[in-house]
Structure 1
């Protein structure tokens, strides 16, 4: 399996995030990707590939030009406000909630940051754009590798992507790598692409991007949004709209759900995937479903991730795995690579 590795991921290194009312060190940190890379090397699994850069036009297939311009220039604007800002991350503090306007972009930097964000836990840093853009390069390259005949590809990058929408960041995510991979495959000749999100948290950004489309089936297994982030999307009655009705499936589970319950949901997802007739599969690979994850409340063990990879292999689809969440850094590499190994050795 080819691994498209973002060598610049550590340029995004947030200092702090707001978590449960306190300013705490970031859970989403470079050591996450480092753990996975080390485990890939230890097992000798696959081949590490440096991605080719892709034009901004490729990102505009998913994200709005206005939003991309903000991300590209945000840090320089932050510094221009006050040179001392070089020593602190930028965090949003105001948002255009219900009844407030979204269509007019404010001149004020703080207001614009709020326009393009969904939470106060996602710091924007000096290297955010570089890291996120190189991650998007990895995703598009992985998608292209599948179209060239690879059975599987892995995108090892951070920051993650599945919470990012067309024109907003949040949940540690800035560019939606899974959506970019799926769209590239469609642009490259695929008729239909499926996205399976197995992160503990619902992939709200991915859902919103494809919600009115029938060429992408989005399925997410995640914690019930009534109790867990992102809270405002991910309910079972969200089926899609317009042409996309019936092409969105959410499988929310209660906090503390057992591995048995989780795998039952996976089987439901796989049955729907089998009936869709996709040409390829994109997996938003979050392993914060692990019992020891500090941000999550499911009960999967490391051995379960081998089973996940094996089950996905039996869908017999070219598959791009996109690294998303997972914050138990000590076990993170083992859990991620177990999925890949299970996939590689199943058939």
Structure 2
């Protein structure tokens, strides 16, 4: 992500070489961006993606078959792999957070946002990341560690999305209940670097215990501390959001990524998804996470069709504004 003038940030959230003029309809369906401050050049802009970044995509045969886990591998849920650690206090090791997923737009091979794997065919993300998009143009990438690096201990997997299931109370204007489930066409093959995070059905980690929590981006780990009182000041409904101050720059984390909180045994539970923040590179940065409605997720996992509602004006490669 780079901080650039808003008029140079396209509707897909990628930096443009020339100023971009968007219609009101295009603004409505643009990829969400967050404000930032470019300290080097001294202006306020938005976080926008580098157009020169190319995500390493697999060959078609690799895509079709995926990766087969070893026969002896036994999947564990909500377990953080702490060895080996990455470099620096916020670095992560390969497969340390196996539930972390990338949400990709197939048409232009761009990274839309992050997501949390909750089963081998379901990923939870922020609804604002995928709202208005045709699910058939979205893909999920599991097992990625370092962007743009091919030489990793194990291969990533990419699977197409079949359906998008929005929380029934999602409001795209206020971002209340900003949660969506992505139902996959095929199942991910769980391995040491690809796995799921637990749903906290019994409130094992209550809100008063949100101290041992993490949210992750590519190559960074941002620790979250509680700051619930900031919610109403920023226009969020407290029953649908969690608010926090990160110990690092939260712009290193992708919208839609998990707020993962550990219990006393070290098992991690999905307590929220990264929804929004109040800007990059600022000492008073506040991050908003949408609460996880576990009962809704359980119902949607059993019968996703009952919650699937058509969203008008699908954005595709053919009609997506540039």
TM-score, with length taken from structure 2:
0.30
TM-score, with length taken from structure 1:
0.29
- The structure with the largest helix share of the pair is 1
- The structure with the largest strand share of the pair is 2
